[in-house]
Amino acid sequence: MSIKIFLADDHRIMREGLRAMLEKKGGLEVIGEAGDGRTAVRLVKEMRPDIIIMDIGMPELNGIEATRRIIKNCPGVKIIALSIHSDKRLVSEMLKAGASGYVLKEAAFSELIDAIHTVKRGCSYISVEIQDVINKKLSKHPLYSELTDREREVLQLLAEGKSTKQIASCLDVSAKTIDSHRQQIMKKLNMHSVAQLTKYAIREGITSI
């Protein structure tokens, strides 16, 4: 039986290239793809793939938040992060979110195939280049972890330049609720403007803009 794979990456050329290479390998079937985290969460719930290959820096909802939601909604699905980032905070957050594997985009395609089969067997797979990263404790607890899931979601959308009204529409809540979330985010992060929040979100890898 083929391993059913879902691709989540905001670069179409990356998805098309991965699909072409994966489908040349026997026993692998790409059943779907998404260009942002929100779409990935929705489609994965419908399609129920075996493995998701997940980018971290995606619009609307980044790969870390998408991973948290997918693991919560579809606990049997395995996720492999495929990212350019080897930063210790991002690696740690992705693994804490529930990813079973982490492979760097600069790795050889054969390493991704190894990761797929390893994760399918129920084991974890971490690229050799970043194994030392996860063995080191973070120097301090990141403020980002103080935020709720919804606050992290609002922070990303704010950083991507969306207005209060646009965010409210996207999340199907009132503008007043979004204003309240923004105030809480600023309080927790000790920041006083959307510009500061945007710089913070970019620096922390919450958004790739």
Domain that holds residue 68: 3-134
One domain, residues 104 and 170: no
Taking only the tens place, the pLDDT of each residue in 6-25 is 999 999 999 999 999 999 98
139 has pLDDT over 50? no
What residues contact residue 89 under an 8 Å CB cut-off, 6+ apart?
Answer: 138, 142, 204, 205
One domain, residues 14 and 94: yes
Q: What is the pLDDT of residue 107?
A: 86
- Could you tell me the CATH number of the domain that includes residue 29? 3.40.50.2300
129 has pLDDT over 90? no
Distance CA(65)–CA(82), nearest Å, equals: 15
% pLDDT > 70, the chain = 93
Q: What is the pLDDT of residue 140?
A: 44
Look up residue 135 and give its DSSP letter. T
The reported pTM is 0.74
Determine contact, residues 70/48, Cβ cutoff 8 Å.
no
Q: What are the DSSP E strand ranges found in 85-179?
A: 101-104, 125-126
Answer yes or no: is 208 within a domain: no
Answer yes or no: is 209 within a domain: no
Answer yes or no: is 65 within a domain: yes
Single-letter amino acid code for the residue at 141: H
106 has pLDDT over 70? yes
In the chain, how many domains are there? Answer: 2
- In this prediction, residues 134-161 reach a mean pLDDT of 73
One domain, residues 115 and 36: yes
Please report which confidence band the pLDDT of residue 143 belongs to, taking 50, 70 and 90 as the band edges: low
Q: Which among 134, 169, 193 is the end of a domain?
A: 134
One domain, residues 26 and 83: yes
Q: What is the pLDDT of residue 93?
A: 87
Q: What is the pLDDT of residue 52?
A: 98
Distance CA(126)–CA(57), nearest Å, equals: 19
Is the Cα dihedral 21, 23, 26, 31 positive or negative? positive
Please tell me the chain's helix, strand, coil percentages from 3-state DSSP, rounded to the nearest 5: 55, 15, 35
Helix (H) or strand (E) holding 78: strand 78-83
Q: What is the pLDDT of residue 137?
A: 47
Determine contact, residues 5/28, Cβ cutoff 8 Å.
yes
Structure tokens at 102: 């982490």
